Amino acid sequence: TRPRAMIYVACNPAAFQRDKREVERYGYHMTELSLFDMFPQTSHSELLGVFELIIHQFAVTLLLQPGLY
């Protein structure tokens, strides 16, 4: 069974964008995005994304791309 939602945290915006596309291929849609400055003494910041499973979109994806799963 797939989780209905997941939370993803990344400190690299490019990696977050790459991984977001991959997660969306499996029927998840990002519903929230937050930026955190966990270490204010550095130039780094963290992105937190909430992804929710879209049931009907996931079924269509599986039908159209049988080798995906």
Active-site residues, by number, are 11
Q: Please, which residues have CB within 8 angstroms of residue 51's CB and are 6 or more apart in sequence?
A: 5, 6, 7, 8, 23, 24, 28, 29, 30, 31
